A and B are shown apart, each in its own frame.
Chain A
Amino acid sequence: MKLLVCVSKTPETTARIAFTNDNTAFDSSGVQYIMNPYDEWYALVRALELKEANGGTVTIINVGPAANDTIIRKGLAIGADEAIRVDAEPQSALYVARQIAEYARGEDFDIVFLGKESIDYNGAEVGAMVAELLELPFVSHATKLEMDGNKAMIVADIDGGDARLEVDTPFVISAAKGLAEQRIPNMRGIMMAKRKPLKVVEPAAAEDLAVSVRFQLPPEKGDVKLVDPENMDELVRLLHEEAKVI
């Protein structure tokens, strides 16, 4: 099977979120970056498991600048065979999707994997866009994927429930928690990753139709109001009369 996994780079989950240039840009000073957890823990690992069971190759692709090579190498260390980096500073989901589709078109991947969303801009958009550009079916928020020949049996999250779906390859799938278990790269994987191919390609021309212009931090919470643990009637009263939520 020929498998493609789209991986993005996001700030580490405990990173301090701040902005510069009059709140128009993300302040990356001192921020550690990681591979987006949905891409690393679930999408990539399930792709590797399918390769191990059925043979084939796993390629990872990232649209981003040279600084992203560290997370790409991590993907190779976890077990991907080769990597592509489209050398660009992505601004919007559609831009990223166009680059991925441009590369994937004609490569005949059986399955294109993505994460359900990136934890920085929380778009959950790129997967649907890649699928549309490649004219392929798309199943989002998959928590299970089993293959039988070219037929896939998928369980996907649908707001408050599960859908059991079937689709034939080729298709695009986005990974949610449950699809696989996180793998930690070992020393051998890290050594081998250094010799695996990481190809850098130029971006295709694409427009940014939606761009972020300003950021804002949520308003500071006032001090917490402590309620006597013996007096839960008081808490109920506050929720009813003051917060007006019950």
Chain B
Amino acid sequence: MVLVLAETQKGKFKKASLEAVTYGNKTAQVLGTDCAALVLGPASGLEELGKYGASKVYHVPDAGLDNFDSQVYAAVISQVAEKTGATVIVFSHSALGKSTAGRVAVRMNAGSVSGANTVPTLEGGAFKVTKGVFSGKAFAEYEIKSDIKVLSLMGNSIPVESSGGPAPVEELSVEVPAARVTVKSLERVEGTTPLPEAELVVSAGRGMKGPENWGIIEELAEVMGATTACSRPVADTGWRPHHEHVGQTGIAIRPNLYLAIGISGAIQHLAGVNNSKTIVVINKDPEAPFFKAADYGVVGDLFEVVPRLTEAMKKFKAEQG
């Protein structure tokens, strides 16, 4: 069986979790088995995961699972995996996945691939799966040789698919160890989709000249329903918050649309964004290296082009209703 950890946030399933369940179902089909989802902590509407391919949903409702202690999570997930005879355990490559998948791999003596971006294949019995390496500059195919496998799925790698009906939910009682990490507070950027999950990203660089000019970027992002990002020097000089910094030393993202404004396209910047589906570059220098990585380019002064683009987007949105 393929067991997928479905994370919730404020009681709702994250998009990354729906992708993971879809992925788990596709993996189960390759292996000729079923896909089950696992939900930890207080949550409702679990049967809904059936739509995305889970034939069963296991729930460990213990309130103690509402924290961020990977040690507790790993203990619980491993017990469920053992009880249910899971052979593949799927995480999202999220903050929780990154702190927990490795622990589960140790506990289950499983080979693991983190940040997988393709459905595994099984040719001649060899279990193979691909992931991005060298910060998006290449892909590597891995073979996992152990009986039990741990995978984490890179966000935006496969589209969410829904077709099935509700799935039966079974409550499991497992031993929940005491947490050793205490959560004092959680702060989430409200309103916008966090960068790793965003499908549309509007990003700007040093071409903006100064933080006081960011109004035009924010307006464009708002009209499009996009999340804002920036290049490293912009975050380093405090023009924008650190969590917006994308690239090799910031966050790696792969949105459907990456709109780069006044960013030269240095190799370390590209490393974090070049797996985006579509890249649009606005730069006044026709020789800017970013144009080589772009699908669409606009050579012009961003202070003129961006407001024009915002107007065009507004018009488009109005026509779409």
A245 touches B105 (CB 8 A): no
* Contact A132:B102 (CB < 8 A) given known A138-B70, A158-B68, A229-B305: yes
CB-contact partner of A232 in B94, B146, B293, B309, under 8 A: B309
Instruction: Kindly identify, within residues 85 to 138 of chain A, every residue whose CB is under 8 Å from any CB belonging to chain B.
Output: 92-94, 97, 116-117, 119-129, 131-133, 135-138
B257-274 with Cβ < 8 A to chain A: 257, 267-268, 271, 274
Which A residues touch B295, using CB under 8 A?
A: 221-222, 224-225, 243
Identify which of A64-72, A75-83, A212-220 touches chain B.
A212-220
For the complex, what is the distance from the CA of A168 to the CA of B137, rounded to whole Å? 39
Chain B residues with CB under 8 Å of A178's CB are 242
**A211 CB-CB contact with B under 8 Å:** yes
Rounded to whole Å, the gap between the CB of B145 and the closest CB of chain A is 5
Residue of A nearest to B276 (CB): A245
Interface size on B, residues (CB 8 A): 99
How many chain A residues have a CB neighbour from B under 8 Å? Answer: 81
Instruction: Enumerate chain A residues within 8 angstroms of B89, measured Cβ to Cβ.
Output: none
Q: Are A129 and B248 in contact (CB under 8 A)?
A: no
Q: Known contacts A132-B102, A164-B185, A177-B242; decide if A94 and B112 are in contact (CB<8 Å).
A: yes
Q: How many A-B residue pairs have CB under 8 A?
A: 283
List of A residues within 8 angstroms of B74 by Cβ:
128, 132
Q: Does B135 contact A (CB under 8 A)?
A: yes
A239 with B138: in contact, given A210-B112, A245-B257 (CB under 8 Å)? no
Q: How far is the CA of A117 from the CA of B133 in the complex (A)?
A: 11
Report if A17 contacts B (CB, 8 A): yes
Decide if A13 is an interface residue (CB 8 Å cutoff).
Answer: yes
Which residues 182-208 of B have a CB within 8 angstroms of A?
Answer: 182-189, 193-197, 199-200
Q: How far is the CA of A140 from the CA of B242 in the complex (A)?
A: 17
In whole angstroms, what is the CA distance A136 to B181 when docked?
10
Chain B proximity of A19: nearest CB distance (Å): 7
By beta carbon, the residue of chain B nearest A234 is B312
A49 to B107, CA, bound (A): 34
Once the chains are docked, how many angstroms separate the CA of A38 from the CA of B248? 10
Instruction: Give the CA-CA distance A1 to B109 in the complex, in Å.
Output: 32
The DSSP consensus for interface residues of chain B is: mixed
- CB-CB under 8 A from A140, the residues of chain B are 70, 95, 98-99
Q: Mark B82-125, 1 if CB is under 8 A from A, else 0.
A: 00000000000111101111110111011111110000000000
Closest to B224 in A: A246
B186:A158 contact, CB within 8 angstroms? yes
B154 nearest in chain A by CB position: A122
CB distance from A36 to the nearest CB of B (A): 10
Question: CB of B245 within 8 A of chain A?
Answer: yes
With a CB–CB cut-off of 8 A, which chain B residues contact A120? 133-134
CB distance from A168 to the nearest CB of B (A): 7
Q: Return chain B residues, CB-CB under 8 Å to A125.
A: 98, 101-102, 105, 112, 114
Contact of B138 with A217 in the complex, beta carbons under 8 Å: yes
Closest 10 CB pairs of A and B: A160-B194, A209-B111, A128-B102, A229-B300, A161-B188, A210-B111, A132-B103, A232-B312, A132-B106, A164-B184
- Other than the known A138-B71, A140-B98, A226-B299, what 7 A-B pairs have Cβ atoms closer than 8 Å? A117-B98, A124-B93, A143-B242, A167-B182, A209-B109, A218-B275, A245-B200
